[in-house]
């Protein structure tokens, strides 16, 4: 059986070769590549911050910058991209509505502040805890990142430890309220990532904080 199969394969190949040889003497125009379909690009504001960024669109024929909210353009393979037109809100919903609904929720960010040289929340920050818990519980599979920070009072090593105590303090508050511990990641930057730049040994309440990202 193997020999018969091999013979048939060779016959088929020989036939293809004969056809190709027969066509070799004839001029055949090269196939024209099919034109690429046009692509629409739109720049939408961030759903959380409402800030519109900036994009640069280019091809071999030219380029254009887009920075206006809901600015859109069509890109074709044969001409320069553009021009830019602004989409109305209803057009954004009609064209991109299903894609936007499929996006995961934007991360939520919170800042909790602490009393001087302690891991005790200020009263204003303690009042934010219910909102943080609500944001976490609104997600099916939440991830919570907690980062502890300090001001520049004291030495760097001690501030890393203080930042970690603050982060763990917040973790404890959230887990005691029912947040699964496995969803929480805790770390400390100490005084290495100041929100307000200061000199060494400068007390700054805004730097004594824990930053929380819920996503």
pLDDT tens column, 47-82: 777 889 899 999 999 999 999 999 999 999 899 998
Query: Cα(139)–Cα(106) distance, rounded to whole angstroms?
Result: 11
The yes-or-no verdict on residue 12 having pLDDT over 70 is: no
The sheet carrying 39-43 orders its strands as: 39-43, 71-75, 85-86
Q: Which single residue is written with the structure tokens 């109305």? A: 88
Q: Within 13 A of 69's CA, how many CA atoms are on the CB side?
A: 9
Output DSSP code: residue 28. -
Query: Cα(84)–Cα(69) distance, rounded to whole angstroms?
Result: 11
Domain identity same for 172 and 150: yes
Extract the tokens encoding 123: 């009263």
Domain identity same for 88 and 179: no
Asked whether residue 120 is assigned to any structural domain, the reply reads yes
Domain identity same for 131 and 198: yes
Domain identity same for 183 and 128: yes
Q: What confidence score (pLDDT) does residue 41 get?
A: 92
Range name among 57-71, 99-113, 134-148, 179-193 with the lowest pLDDT average: 99-113
The yes-or-no verdict on residue 24 having pLDDT over 70 is: no
Asked whether residue 3 is assigned to any structural domain, the reply reads no
> Biggest alpha carbon distance in the chain?
91
Residue 183 or residue 13, greater confidence = 183
Out of 69, 84, 102, a domain closes at: 102
Asked whether residue 19 is assigned to any structural domain, the reply reads no
Mean pLDDT, residues 136-158: 93
Number of domains in the chain: 2
Residue 21 or residue 116, greater confidence = 116
Mean pLDDT, residues 36-48: 86
**In sequence order, what are the beta bridge partners of 64?**
57
Which H or E run contains 41? strand 39-43
Extract the tokens encoding 29: 């125009």
Q: What is the band of 11 on the pLDDT scale with cuts at 50, 70, 90?
A: very low
Out of 68, 83, 102, a domain closes at: 102
Do the bridges between strand 144-149 and strand 184-190 make them parallel or antiparallel, or are there none, so unpaired?
Answer: parallel
Query: Cα(55)–Cα(64) distance, rounded to whole angstroms?
Result: 9
Do 52 and 67 form a contact (C-beta atoms < 8 A)? yes
Extract the tokens encoding 178: 């029912």
Asked whether residue 10 is assigned to any structural domain, the reply reads no
Mean pLDDT, residues 156-162: 95
If we measure between CA atoms, which residue out of 49, 50, 53 comes closest to residue 65?
53
Out of 102, 120, 143, a domain closes at: 102
Give the domain extent around 86: 39-102
Which residues neighbour 28 within 8 Å (Cβ) at sequence distance 6 or greater? none
Q: Is 112 exposed, middle or buried (0-12, 13-18, 19+ CB in 10 A)?
A: buried
């Amino acid at each position: 059986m193997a020999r018969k199969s091999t013979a048939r394969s060779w016959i088929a190949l020989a036939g293809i070769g004969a056809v190709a040889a027969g066509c070799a003497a004839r001029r055949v125009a090269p196939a024209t590549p099919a034109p690429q379909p046009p692509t629409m690009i739109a720049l939408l504001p961030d759903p959380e911050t409402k800030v519109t960024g900036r994009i640069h669109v280019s091809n071999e024929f030219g380029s254009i910058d887009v920075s206006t909210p809901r600015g859109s353009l069509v890109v074709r393979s044969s001409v320069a991209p553009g021009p830019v037109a602004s989409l109305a809100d209803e057009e954004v919903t009609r064209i991109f509505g299903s894609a936007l609904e499929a996006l995961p929720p934007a991360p939520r960010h919170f800042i909790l502040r602490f009393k001087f040289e302690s891991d005790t929340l200020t009263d204003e920050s303690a009042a934010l805890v219910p909102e943080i818990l609500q944001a976490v519980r609104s997600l099916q599979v939440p991830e919570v990142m907690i980062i502890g920070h300090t001001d520049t009072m004291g030495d760097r090593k001690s501030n890393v430890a203080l930042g970690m105590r603050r982060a763990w303090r917040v973790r404890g508050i959230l887990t005691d309220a029912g947040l699964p511990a496995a969803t929480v990641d805790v770390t400390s930057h100490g005084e290495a990532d100041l929100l307000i730049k200061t000199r060494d040994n400068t007390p700054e309440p805004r730097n004594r904080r824990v930053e929380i990202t819920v996503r």
